[in-house]
Amino acid sequence: MNNTKDKIDIRSLSLNALQEHFIRMDEKGFRAKQVYEWLWKKSCFSFNEMSNISKELRAKLDANFVINNVKINSSQVSADKTIKNSFILHDNHLIEGVLIPTPGRMTACVSSQVGCSLTCKFCATGYMERKRNLNPDEIYDQVVLIDQQARENYGQPLSNIVYMGMGEPLLNYANMMKSIERITSEDGLNMAAKRITVSTAGIAKMIKKLGDDQVKFNLALSLHAANDEKRNTIMPINEQNSLKALAEALKYYYAKTKNPVTYEYIIFDGVNDGIQDAMELAKFCKHLPCKVNIIEYNPIAFASYINAGEDKVEAFADYLTKQGINTHLRRSRGKDIDAACGQLAIKEKDKLAEV
């Protein structure tokens, strides 16, 4: 096998499958475990760096397998120290991921798809075509590379991961789950599941599946309106996943996991910023234990939405707080480099660039 396209993607194999390949290559099965550790626990992207493996075996690995690792294509640093990355994939597609440093935590915001099939009207990624799902290792690699950035630039490791980048994680369910398994496992990055948050635009049947799988990570729902008519306009996915269906799914999820849910709510000027909107949200919050993150809107060229005024935002948050709802105001990070919530979109051509 000389052509890369003829080689097996080694990180697509389970440990057992890799051991079977090694036996077929007349190699000891335990060698597979050594290689597996290099691939996942040590995040190694090159067979040549596997120092406890013989040169002969490294040559065999190179002849039969490939490591389709993600690479940083370009990076931008915001005035607030947020770092936005353009990542290039093995097939030349580009995605974006962000390092968000704040006092007390280092957060990686990672993508789960190349583009997005949903058409949320406020989100730049929603105006892109979905090219494909990311593989588990491509999500994992974003975490590895952003963790390296955190250590190199700020002297701290990652503390948190949010699946809030490009794409809808629950429409890439199997690969999203496998990536979290690798990130949290002892023979992977060994990060705590409670440090991971998966954000969804609201796929009711997949939220129930999260409950059936009794996940340990956190769930966030991009809500933005607790009124079907308004949410249909902002987020067309609501037409197939109504608030009633979402409430039912979330109650099922909570019954199975006992994990409270975070509702993300961007306040748009003149759209969902009134006290009536706050009343509807407060009513929706009564379904299960939750908290609300009120997020500053970050305008994009494709949409006419603007951020609500400070007085309206504060009045909205104050109403929720008085209703006994755990409410937080989230200030945007990385706005000056289009790295903030809703701003991720590839502006470069989706092709191989010099790295």
Residues 107-134: tens digit of each pLDDT: 999 999 998 877 677 776 666 777 899 9
User: In this structure, which long-range contacts are made by residues 303-310, counting pairs with CB atoms below 8 Å and at least 24 apart in sequence?
Assistant: 303/121, 303/122, 305/121, 305/122, 305/268, 305/269, 305/271, 306/268, 306/269, 307/267, 307/268, 307/269, 308/267, 308/268, 308/269, 308/270, 308/273, 309/269
Residue of 188, 192, 176, 191 whose CA lies nearest to 38: 188
The pLDDT, as a whole number, for residue 302 is 65
Residue 330, CA distances (Å) to 186, 266, 292 in order:
33, 10, 10
120 annotated ligand binder: yes
Contact 345, 122 (CB under 8 A): no
Among 109, 285, 290, 341, which one carries the catalytic annotation?
A: 341
310 annotated ligand binder: no
**pLDDT at residue 209 is higher than 60:** yes
In 297-333, which positions are buried (b, 16+ CB within 10 angstroms) versus exposed (e)?
bbbbeebebebbeeebbeebbebbeeeebebeeeebb
Give the integer Cα–Cα distance in Å for 18 and 24. 10
298 annotated ligand binder: yes
199 annotated ligand binder: yes
The pLDDT, as a whole number, for residue 351 is 40
**pLDDT at residue 271 is higher than 60:** yes
> 86 pairs with which residues across the strands?
74, 96
Residues 78-90: what's their mean pLDDT? 92
168 annotated ligand binder: yes
Residues 237-257: tens digit of each pLDDT: 999 999 999 999 999 999 999
| Catalytic site includes residue 109 | no
The pLDDT, as a whole number, for residue 340 is 45
Using DSSP, state whether 73 is helix, strand or coil: strand
Using DSSP, state whether 50 is helix, strand or coil: coil
DSSP, res 194: G
First-to-last CA distance in the chain? 26
> With a threshold of 0.85, does the pTM exceed it?
yes
For the sheet containing 326-330, what is the strand order?
71-77, 83-88, 94-102, 105-109, 160-163, 196-200, 218-222, 261-266, 290-295, 326-330
Which CATH architecture fits 8-66?
Answer: Orthogonal Bundle (1.10)
116 annotated ligand binder: yes
**pLDDT at residue 338 is higher than 70:** no
Residues 144-168: what's their mean pLDDT? 96
332 annotated ligand binder: no
Q: Can you read off the two tokens belonging to residue 61?
A: 């690995």
Place of tokens 């440090």: 195
Q: What is the mean pLDDT of the chain?
A: 89
> 9 pairs with which residues across the strands?
66
Residue of 35, 47, 42, 95 whose CA lies nearest to 71: 95
Among 27, 96, 138, 296, which one carries the catalytic annotation?
A: 96
179 annotated ligand binder: no
The pLDDT, as a whole number, for residue 306 is 79
Residues 279-303: what's their mean pLDDT? 88
The pLDDT, as a whole number, for residue 355 is 27
285 annotated ligand binder: no
| Catalytic site includes residue 341 | yes
Residue 151: alpha-carbon gap to chain centroid: 20
Question: pLDDT grade, residue 298 (50/70/90)?
Answer: confident
Residues 141-151: tens digit of each pLDDT: 999 999 999 99
Burial of 348 (0-12, 13-18, 19+ CB in 10 A): exposed
* 3-state class percentages of the chain: helix first, strand second, coil last, to nearest 5: 40, 20, 40
Residues 21-38: what's their mean pLDDT? 92
**pLDDT at residue 346 is higher than 50:** no
**CATH of span 71-353:** 3.20.20.70
Give the DSSP H or E segment for 85. strand 83-88
Residues 160-189: what's their mean pLDDT? 96
Angle at 221 between CA 79 and CA 339, to 5 degrees: 20
**pLDDT at residue 303 is higher than 90:** no
Q: Where are the domains of the chain?
A: 8-66, 71-353
Q: Which amino acid is at 308?
A: A
The pLDDT, as a whole number, for residue 96 is 92
Contact 21, 32 (CB under 8 A): yes
Question: pLDDT grade, residue 231 (50/70/90)?
Answer: very high
**pLDDT at residue 321 is higher than 50:** yes
- Out of 124-128, 161-165, 216-220, 271-275, pick the least confident: 124-128
44 annotated ligand binder: no
